[in-house]
Amino acid sequence: MKELHKAILFMMLSAFAFAIMNGLVKYLADFSAYQLVFFRSIGTLLITSSLLMYHKIPMLGNKRWLLILRGVAGAISLLLFFASLKFLPVGTAVTLRYLSPIFAAIFAVIWLKERIKPLQWLFFLLAFAGVLVLKGFDDGLSLIGLSMIILSALFMGLIFVVISKIGKQDHPMVVVNYFMFIGTVLGGLLSIGNWKNPIGVEWIWLGILGIVGFVGQLYMTKAFQIASTNQIAPLKYLEVIFTVMIGAFWFLEIYTWWSLLGILMVMAGLTLNILYKGRNA
């Protein structure tokens, strides 16, 4: 029970760190999504590379093509997510990005030949119905932003399947390091044409992006290492709640009752799927 309490605390810290990162990205909207990906990635890359060298873990890993695929898919997903925040309320964007388990399940059927049980499809349908409620009853929801965040979720779903294929053949820090390296290169190259020089305190905020991103990743990993997935995974959706609160109080974003219902339906559908999978594993 003590280990479970520790895992819950780690997951809460992870969710809060990612929510802070989401708020900072929204706050730094004057910078391009490319530049934000660059600073988010390079900040974490410096930490992960240092840790790999300190612990003498080979950086290149074993499943190199899969590691590259994970890094590319991760960088594209992150780029689309950051870009969508210029069009969507931050809480809505984070909620819709969590549609990724649905895409992961579809990729797993195609690639890993896994089966999805009928009740899981019902839970996925509930989550997609939440998306329709969000868009159908919120005229202010941008179609461009919605398209970006759905694509971001799709690439995130691909990431889950690729990580599953990598398995335990590579250290988790190596997997993250590939992601951050590719994000740094991609974000840096795409920023060349529209680079905006940070001024004063902006350097601090951009630096914090990488730090809170690493903290979120670290404590999420620690939580999954000491508790079962079905006990911990639903707590990941605390990030949505924290982010909605940040959006409401920091950016004075207004969420209609329909928006909140849509968010709740998405979270309920995906959480029920996690619990169902855990019970039937």
Query: Which pLDDT tens digit goes with each residue over 29-62?
Result: 999 999 999 999 999 999 999 999 999 999 998 9
Which residue segment(s) compose the domain that 44 sits in?
Answer: 2-279
Long-range contacts at 166-172 (CB < 8 A, ≥ 24 apart): 166/63, 166/66, 166/67, 166/70, 169/62, 169/63, 170/61, 170/62, 170/63, 170/67, 171/52, 171/57, 171/61, 172/221
Residue 280's pLDDT is what?
66
- pLDDT tens-digit series, residues 71-102: 999 999 999 999 999 998 898 899 899 888 88
How many structural domains compose the chain?
1
Angle, helix 118-136 to helix 100-107, in steps of 10 degrees: 140
48: which 2 tokens? 């992960």
244: which 2 tokens? 């909605």
Residue 20's pLDDT is what?
95
- pLDDT tens-digit series, residues 220-237: 877 876 776 666 777 788
What is the spatial distance between Cα 163 and Cα 166, in angstroms, rounded to a whole number? 5
**pTM (predicted TM-score):** 0.88
